[in-house]
Amino acid sequence: MSTTPGTTPTIYEWMGGAEAMNRLTDAFYAHALQDEILAPVFAGMDSEHP
């Protein structure tokens, strides 16, 4: 985290920044495509979608 002493990190910083957000997004889409309710919503999404 790159906060100065005495400051509170943002949620983004606290959770680990871009690397953590990428892992979270990858995990979400992997599970969403296996879920019977969410799969139809994400079925047509391009695999390169961020």
pLDDT in tens, 4-49: 678 999 999 999 999 999 999 889 988 998 999 999 998 888 877 7
In a domain, 27, yes or no: yes
In a domain, 46, yes or no: no
Number of domains in the chain: 1
The gap between the terminal CA atoms of the chain, to the nearest Å, is 24
In one letter, which amino acid is 45?
Answer: M
In a domain, 6, yes or no: no
pLDDT at 2: 63
Q: What is the pTM of this model?
A: 0.61
pLDDT at 46: 80
In a domain, 28, yes or no: yes
pLDDT at 42: 86
In a domain, 3, yes or no: no
List the domain range (segments joined by +) for residue 30: 12-41
